[in-house]
Every structure is written in structure tokens, then in C-alpha cells.
Structure 1
Amino acid sequence: MTMIRTSGGRLGMLSMAVLALLVAGCGTERPGDDVAAGRPSRSAAATPSAPVDLPCPGESPTSAPPKTAHTASPTAPPTDHYAENHGFRVPIPLHGRNRCQGLAAVARVEHALEPLRRRGDFHPESTRRALIGLGYRNVQSYGDGATGAGFLIDADPLCVEGTITRDATRADAFGGYPDGTDCQPPSGGH
């Protein structure tokens, strides 16, 4: 049997090298400190700008983009960390061209499901057939068939979910979930 031996000196040297690299990255400069006059601070240069959403076809240029039910906009920082701990459940909003594609998909879906709603046909299979008829392949539908049906469409790069009930047909588009479950709502967090 062959044994590979390492000397304690080599492991100690490796540990010291890693520690030296870690310590070298720590300093007294903080983001936002003015490092040199006339130059933006590191935080100003590294802070990403908010995405700008231009009007999509059919939207007026003066109206603000519609807020979706999934857009989180806390007015005050949470004191109990609930929002922070459940952030994995907040869908990713769509921006740019994907937002326009999402708005168009929502309009197509609602238009296709509205005749079912008017007839009172809330069976999940009817909902699924109508959505597959639009060309979507990855469609899930669920519900009791009596009071309404829900649906989820995975139309990469966007997701469309919604419901059809006696009162309304509702759909919403989003870009998946931050934990990488694509269009499926995540089941757990940290």
C-alpha cells in the first residue's frame, strides 16, 4: 500500500498564503468614500442603474409601465426579515423587449380564455387546450372545474400565469424565479 505524505510545513504555508490574500483585500476604504477628487467613488461606478422600460406597442408613451402583482415595492425596510427571507418567492419582473413580449402574451392568453369564461367553462382541460391552441407547449392547468381554473405557461424566456373565474380572466407575465426553478413557484427557502 502506497501512502502519500504531506508535511505540516506545506499545509502551513498554504494556509498562510490564503490568509495573506484575504487580508490584502481588506482595507479602510468604504464604498462611497471619495478616493480622489473629481473621480466617482467605487459605489457610484459599481451601482447598476434601474432598467428603463420604453413603451411597448399599444402603450402610450406618457403612461407608466403597468405594475404587476409580482412587483415588490416595500415602502419601509422589514423589521422581521420576512421579505428578505421570502424573496425567493418573488418572481423576476420583465424589462425591455421581454416586457413587451410578456404584455403581448398576456393579451393573447386573456383573449383566448375569455370565451371560456363567458360560457362558464372552467375545466382545466378546456383551459389547457385553449392555451396549446395558441402554440404554447409547456402548459399546466389546475382547478375544480366548477369555480375556476388556474394555469401556468413556461414560454422561455418568460412565464405566464393566471386564472379564469366567473368574474374575470387574469394573466400575468414574469421572468421566472431567482432560485432557478424557472416558472415553477419555489417550495422552500433558506
Structure 2
Amino acid sequence: MTIWRKTRVLPGMLPLAVVVLLTAGCGTQRAGDAGDAYRSARPTPTGVTTPSTPADFRCPGESSAPSAPTAPAPQDRTGPPADHYAENHGFRVPIPLHGRNRCDGLAGVGRVKGALEPLRRRGDFAPDSVRGTLIGLGYSAERVRAYQNGSGVGFLIDIGASPWCVEGTMSGDSTRAEAFGGYPDGADCEPPSGGH
């Protein structure tokens, strides 16, 4: 024979119990837990692609094939806490260009350096001269910045496509320029002032 007893539930206990149950497991899984191993062992459904490192190829005029990007080394979880400076300032690291965009960037850098070289040889390090030369290449006046940088001139061009940027300096020794795809936390070619 079974005896049933009535138990009285205090008001507010049910909502409290629901909250406790819902939050009990939140935030307890860390990278490298068994769940990650399970997820990576599952097969990818047919027709679904997984992200991969973009393939770069030799661009026209490039003397050697680009080097393949290297994967970061796994972190040692048993050692002392890592210095998080690089992690905390990653928002200031420009996004590299890959594939066709990389080739377009290299071509743009070549055009910029070729146009600025006569100014450099003449010793014309006026920001207005550099800006005028870059605008003369067809870049929009609103998207070209030139500024004094020590004894030389710095410049930044926002090409305006997704963003696509060329940045560099011109000094008595050389003209340096590089193309990149903006910044992780930015919407244009200007380095962001704060991270996330």
C-alpha cells in the first residue's frame, strides 16, 4: 500500500528552482574539454563547407610564391598565465589580404610607390605634394590622407572596397607601402582607438 503525502511548496520556490537548473551548466565548458573533441570528431554533413585558410597564389610581377600562413601554437594550460598584450591589442593588427584581393593590393602598392618615387628623389616631402600625387592616381580626394611623419611623409588611402587600404611612408631613404583589408574592429582604414 502506498501512502501519498501532500507537500507544501513555498511561494517563489518554483521560479528559483527553474533559475538554478537553467544556470547550473552555463559557462562551465572550456576550450579543450571533451565537448570540443566530440564536435571535431563528428563528420561534416555533405554539401556543407567548413572555413579554411584562404589560398594565396603568385601574383603578376611577384618574384616568389607567397608563404603559407602558420597556425598559432596550442597554448600550454599547465604553465603560468600568458601575457595577454597581443590578445588584448589584436584589434590594431591589420587584416591581411588573400587571393585576388592580395594581388590587387600588391598592384596598388606598386603604383603608389612608382608615383611617389620622383617626389622622394627630388626631396619633396610636403604632405600636400604626396596627397596631390595620390589623388592624381585616381583615388578619391576624401579617401586620401597625407601627414608629416618625422622628416618624411605618412599616407593612408581608403580604396573603399570592403575596406581595402594602402598605408605607408616616404622618407629620404625609401618609400614603403603595404595593402591590407582594414581592422577587425573597424569599419574603415583608420586604426581603431579602442578594442572590444
Indicate whether the TM-score tops 0.5: yes
TM-score, scaled relative to structure 1: 0.72
Decide whether aligned partners of structure 1 residues 130 and 22 sit closer, same or farther in structure 2, where only a CA change above 3 A counts.
farther
The structure-2 alpha-carbon separation of the partners of 1:16 and 1:47, relative to structure 1 and needing over 3 Å to count, comes to: farther
2:154 paired residue number: 150
Opposite residue 139 of structure 1, the aligned amino acid is V
Is contact 2:94-2:184 (8 Å) kept? Answer: yes
Counterpart position of 1:55 = 58
Q: Which structure 2 residues correspond to residues 72-91 of structure 1 after superposition, within 5 A? A: 79-91=82-94
- The 3 A distance-change label for structure 1 pair 115 and 76 is farther
Q: Deviations over 1:131-163 (max 9, x none)?
A: 00000111000006x821000000022100000
Tell whether 2:138 aligns with 1:135: yes
Evaluate the alpha carbon distance shift between residue 140 and residue 22 of structure 1 in structure 2; reply closer, same or farther with a 3 A threshold. farther
Q: Distance in 1 between matches of 2:130 and 2:37?
A: 53
1:21-100 superposed matches below 5 A: 30-33=35-38, 41-42=41-42, 48-60=51-63, 63-65=64-66, 79-100=82-103
**Distance in 2 separating the partners of 1:163 and 1:42:** 49
The answer to whether the 8 Å contact 1:31/1:42 transfers is no
The whole-number CA distance in structure 1 between the counterparts of 2:179 and 2:71 is 17
- Secondary structure at 1:31 match in 2: helix
CA distance in structure 2 between the partners assigned to 1:74 and 1:23 by the alignment: 30
CA contact (8 A) 2:183 2:192 kept: yes
- For the 8 Å contact 1:72–1:90, the answer to whether it is kept is no
Q: 1:66/1:164 Cα in 2 relative to 1: closer, same or farther (>3 Å)?
A: farther
Q: Which consecutive residues of structure 2, in runs of 5 or more, have no partner in the other structure?
A: 1-10, 76-80
Aligned to 1:32, the other structure's residue is in SS state helix
Looking at structure 2, the residues matched to 76 and 127 of structure 1 have their Cα atoms a distance apart, in angstroms, of 44
Query: Is 2:190 the partner of 1:184?
Result: yes
Asked whether 1:102 is paired with 2:105, we answer yes
* RMSD (CA atoms): 3.8
Instruction: Report how many aligned residue pairs link the two structures.
Output: 170
Taking structure 2 as the reference length, the TM-score comes to 0.70
Shift of residue 51 of structure 1? 1.1
Gaps of 5+ in 1: 1-7
